[in-house]
Structure 1
Amino acid sequence: MLAESAAAHPDSVAVLDDRRTLSYADLLDGSRRVANGLIEKHGLRAGDRAVVQFPNVVEYVEVLFALFDAGVLPVFALASHSAIEIEDLATRSDAAAFLTVDAFGGTDYRAHAEQLAGARPSTGDGRPFATVVAELGRPDPLAAIRSSNTASTGRSGAPSDIAFLQLSGGTTGAPKMIGRTHDDYLYSVRESAVICGLDESSVFGVVLPASHNFTMSSPGILGALYAGARIVMVGSTDARTVLSAIAEHAITGVSVVPPLVTAWLDSPEAGRHDVSSLRVLQVGGAKLAEPVARRVPDLFPRVTLQQVFGMAEGLVNYTRLDDDFERIVSTQGRPISPDDEIRVVDANGDELPPGQEGSLQTRGPYTIRGYWGGGAPESFTADGFYCTGDRVVRDAQGYLTVVGRDKDQINRAGEKIAPSEVEGVLLTHPAVRDASLVGVPDDRLGERTVAYVIPATAAADAGEVPGEFALRGFLREAGLARFKIPDDVFIVDEFPTTAVGKISKKDQRVDAAGEAETPADEAPADPLVADHLLADIADKLMIDPAALSGGIMLADSGIDSLQLMALLDKWRTAGAAGLDFETIAQSPTIDDLIAAVRQAGAR
């Protein structure tokens, strides 16, 4: 593919960063000389695996195609992976080499190489383990690796051979390794380039980690090279860096994850840069909430938003560039190929009709049938469908709307809650920039719901950050069912994120579980005084305590049995150990309820 693009566009710029610029001819020649150097100087062989850890720099693309030409399978680590994680990848893939840079952005990658070399002095067949470090401060960072031989090694193998090992996007345990073949991956790349309108006039800005599947192939780096386009490596994800890079290089397309979109929309940099060159803003990696999607024209008035829903295991869905705006903002697209098979199934595995929510299964021309090394066989059905773990709704036209993950669905006292629904309503609040809902284990409810909210910058600057009462009241007024309103709301400055910038709900769950264990010295000095008890009841009713009259009949207050049980647990912990449910449930008024609690606590 690269040779064909270089023949058609030899003098066109293929890839650049703030240090180097390579034409297509430069890239082809340089990658072939690196390929021969890896064979001649480091003893690599066709079929070997090599862990690759590069930031967003030009050399990444050279090394990538060098490995393809040498028939060596890249194992794609992320730049944010630690030395311990790199060692694990090298061990599980039985790698023969580790390729990286000396240092970038404050990270000492050479130290990763030295640690790995110490842990793996030789390969499984007794050859020395190779560590290859690009010296980014030199005019040619790969000079020490290159051979004088500019011919192709001819060792890249057959189209149906595995080309590389990508990492799964799972959130638990070590990532599974995905073997993608040359033909299945390039099918996806070629079709994606067409769907996304890439051609030789396109300029693709690489904002997300270069080795991530989304950045690589949807249509990404490989799609840009296939089309003869230009690639610009952007050194950071902050709004100033990205928006100024769009203006400086006339970037026409970028691929990002939802948290970056919300951050850019809310940034003071919005509107300060000429971003009129941008034609397509792709958002994927996680669902883009509809309220945020509707705000995209505020920052990019000439851009076409394109939602992307895909996975490293294969299936990719796009909204099309000519779809109407409502479809673009409300769905995550339809599959690339007419031969992609989609099943939406219930808990029993029975297929559901369009319009009903269920678990997504898929089979198709570029979706794997099993993980490399045979891991996680439970992820595949007996008839070869991959169980994605996503919960979706498919419409009659085949467009998918992502509801969440099977593991993200919250079961609160038997009621099922889709986090994306609650998050979507929270995002319609003018003072909310971003929102995330997670479920946390609870002895009484099974799971309780916790919402994390980042306030909009303007609201924070004006001292108008909405509190828990206000936000829960907003959700109730928006018509959200009572059981879907979060049990707790935390106002935070930022969300924890994964290596590729997705919100880490795993970390939020851990944080929320920790918040439930309030240290004794932080608890109210006297939690059973009347004012505190009234505030507890008002909290469950989602109203201001000042608006709650103690004389109101308990039956007329709107409080339900689950809420009373939650209060019972809290008050027992606070000192009313002898309190029972019958006593509080039969209290005629709010004042009577408070009196019963205080009597049980002897306060």
Structure 2
Amino acid sequence: MAPMLDGCTPWPEEFVDRYWAAGHWRGNTLDNLLRGWALQYGPRTALVHGGTRTTYAYLNRRVDRMAAGFRLSGLRPGQRVVVQLPNVPEFVVTVFALMRAGAVPVLCPVSHRASEVSHLVRVTQAVGYVGPSTYQGFDHTAMAADIAARGPFLRRVFTFEAPGASSPYGGMTTDPSGCHHVPLGSVDAPPERALAQSADQVAFFLLSGGATEAPKLVPRTHDDYAYQARAAGELVSLTENDVYLAALPAEFNFTFGCPGIVGTLSVGGAVVLVENPAPADCLKAVERERVTITSVTPAVAELWLDVLPAVQADLSSLRLVQIGGAPLPRATAERIGAAWGCRLQQGFGIAEGLLTLTRPADPDETVLTTQGRPLSPDDEIRIVDADGKDVPDGEPGELLARGPYTVRGYYRAPDHNARSFTTDGYFRTGDLARRTPDGNLVVTPVP
């Protein structure tokens, strides 16, 4: 195993051996997996955004050329780049291209502003930023230029322009701080020989949940994330005939890989990216693209239920709706099946790893009232009291987890790690849970 990026906590060797022996980890990087998907599913539609359709073959070629363009711009393997894009095809292309170039994307919500973004740049020492020029009235380029002027790290700002928009920066420019501004569309060069990369290295960073403090960085490796997306796809019987709607932000773990975008691409399905999360737009997208699966929060599900009578969209293509991110009221859960005519799947997931899901064959009562069971047979779960002692089944306690896709530490955060991880590697989720007699979990996330 190659040394992990400085500031990350690796899995102990005995666990690495265990996860390899079980076939969970397979030693292939996510960007190299995309090459295989392009060969297998070349002419099929990979991404849909409005009236634009992107095939697997074109997606891989664009990733190849953008990766070469990033390297030509001076990005080096291991360097970090903050990616702050809405649900557009360029999000998927950019993330895979940065990974293919050997750089490490830091996935940042487009809603974050200077305080959060500057924190991410500082902690990761990010040399690059990819974001819209302006989005929903906010000037992201000016924010990035200000962050670059205040610190020594950020030196390349790649600006995404929506089709038809014009940039005040035009071609490549250099501002007074020495930061280069480059249109993302011009990051393009003939593909080079593929870099030799190791799948046990960090593929990208997700951000931890919690709105009361600066976001913590969650390092996800190629091996662990490929396994998570693949296993989640197998659990929901995902096939090339499925159409996944990315209705929540694409950089969320739930949307990106539970099975989400990565899982859908891994089987040759189509990913529909909805930039405007308005319920009417999402429901019309389900009808228009014959969406079969999506993942939303309880609040979004309730909005969809409330507006459906007025929108009158045909949702008959839906076979599964995943609900996570907060407790789902039983009354809402019962409305979903009747209103949408599809199966409900409840889940609990965190950027740090652990994913629990109800199974498609579970009894209705299980689906209506629990968050299911852990994704992997090698997920290890403990529910403990305030003294760290395991509580009996049925009793509530703090949920602890370790496993083949649950990280062993935050990035460059030793103080947080001392509080958030046990000495034997369990992640303290901070959420309350209890185990039902049939082994399912009822989780109550703590704000």
Shorter-chain TM band: 0.7 to 0.9
Report the counterpart of residue 197 of structure 1 in structure 2: 237
Residues 280, 311 of structure 2: 8 Å contact kept: no
Report the counterpart of residue 320 of structure 2 in structure 1: 280
2:62 to 30, 41, 64: 30
Change in Cα spacing, 1:251 to 1:334, as seen in structure 2 (3 Å) is same
Which deviations, in whole Å up to 9, do the C-alpha atoms of 1:374-429 show, x marking residues without a partner?
A: 34121111111111011011123321011342xx6xxxxxxxxxxxxxxxxxxxxx
Alignment of 1:145 onto 2:198: no
Which deviations, in whole Å up to 9, do the C-alpha atoms of 1:412-463 show, x marking residues without a partner?
A: xxxxxxxxxxxxxxxxxxxxxxxxxxxxxxxxxxxxxxxxxxxxxxxxxxxx
Counterpart of 1:243, as a letter, is L
Using the TM superposition, give the Cα deviation of residue 139 of structure 1 relative to its aligned residue in structure 2, in angstroms. 10
Separation in 1, partners of 2:74, 2:184: 17
Counterpart of 2:62, as a letter, is G
Separation in 2, partners of 1:195, 1:75: 28
1:102 to 114, 129, 133: 133
Separation in 2, partners of 1:204, 1:151: 32
Using the TM superposition, give the Cα deviation of residue 19 of structure 1 relative to its aligned residue in structure 2, in angstroms. 5.3
2:159 to 133, 155, 166: 133
Change in Cα spacing, 1:232 to 1:404, as seen in structure 2 (3 Å) is closer
Separation in 1, partners of 2:284, 2:308: 13
Report the counterpart of residue 379 of structure 2 in structure 1: 340
Counterpart of 2:270, as a letter, is R
Using the TM superposition, give the Cα deviation of residue 227 of structure 1 relative to its aligned residue in structure 2, in angstroms. 1.1
- The 5-angstrom pairing of residues 551-562 of structure 1 reads none
Residues 240, 269 of structure 1: 8 Å contact kept: no
Separation in 2, partners of 1:351, 1:154: 46
Residues 116, 215 of structure 2: 8 Å contact kept: no
Separation in 2, partners of 1:293, 1:178: 31
Separation in 2, partners of 1:72, 1:374: 21
Using the TM superposition, give the Cα deviation of residue 152 of structure 1 relative to its aligned residue in structure 2, in angstroms. 5.1
1:316 to 344, 352, 355: 355
Compare 246-255 and 128-137 and name the one that shifted more. 128-137
Report the counterpart of residue 23 of structure 2 in structure 1: none
- The 5-angstrom pairing of residues 58-73 of structure 1 reads 58-73=89-104
Separation in 2, partners of 1:224, 1:355: 35
Change in Cα spacing, 1:230 to 1:47, as seen in structure 2 (3 Å) is same
Number of aligned residues: 397
Separation in 1, partners of 2:309, 2:94: 35
Report the counterpart of residue 371 of structure 1 in structure 2: 410
Counterpart of 2:300, as a letter, is L
Identity %: 39
Which deviations, in whole Å up to 9, do the C-alpha atoms of 1:214-234 show, x marking residues without a partner?
A: 111100111111111101111
Separation in 2, partners of 1:146, 1:158: 25
Separation in 1, partners of 2:290, 2:165: 26
2:108 to 65, 74, 77: 77
Q: TM-score, normalised by structure 1?
A: 0.64
CA RMSD of aligned residues (A): 1.8
Separation in 2, partners of 1:353, 1:104: 50
- The 5-angstrom pairing of residues 413-428 of structure 1 reads none
2:412 aligned counterpart, secondary structure: helix
Counterpart of 1:23, as a letter, is T
1:267 aligned counterpart, secondary structure: helix
Structure label with greater radius of gyration: 1
Alignment of 1:209 onto 2:249: yes
Residues 35, 153 of structure 1: 8 Å contact kept: no
1:182 to 222, 239, 257: 222
Change in Cα spacing, 1:152 to 1:231, as seen in structure 2 (3 Å) is farther
Report the counterpart of residue 46 of structure 1 in structure 2: 77
Compare 368-377 and 135-144 and name the one that shifted more. 135-144
Residues 204, 219 of structure 2: 8 Å contact kept: yes
Unaligned runs of 5+ in 1: 409-603
Which deviations, in whole Å up to 9, do the C-alpha atoms of 1:70-119 show, x marking residues without a partner?
A: 11111111010113321221111100100112233333322233323333
Report the counterpart of residue 421 of structure 2 in structure 1: 380
Residues 398, 433 of structure 2: 8 Å contact kept: yes
Residues 53, 76 of structure 1: 8 Å contact kept: yes
- The 5-angstrom pairing of residues 184-263 of structure 1 reads 184-263=224-303
Report the counterpart of residue 394 of structure 1 in structure 2: 435
Unaligned runs of 5+ in 2: 1-32, 167-182
Change in Cα spacing, 1:271 to 1:304, as seen in structure 2 (3 Å) is farther
Using the TM superposition, give the Cα deviation of residue 290 of structure 1 relative to its aligned residue in structure 2, in angstroms. 1.6
Counterpart of 2:161, as a letter, is E
Counterpart of 1:177, as a letter, is L
Change in Cα spacing, 1:332 to 1:152, as seen in structure 2 (3 Å) is farther
Change in Cα spacing, 1:106 to 1:197, as seen in structure 2 (3 Å) is farther
Counterpart of 2:276, as a letter, is S
- The 5-angstrom pairing of residues 331-480 of structure 1 reads 331-375=370-414, 376=416, 377-405=418-446
Residues 264, 270 of structure 1: 8 Å contact kept: no
Report the counterpart of residue 142 of structure 2 in structure 1: 111
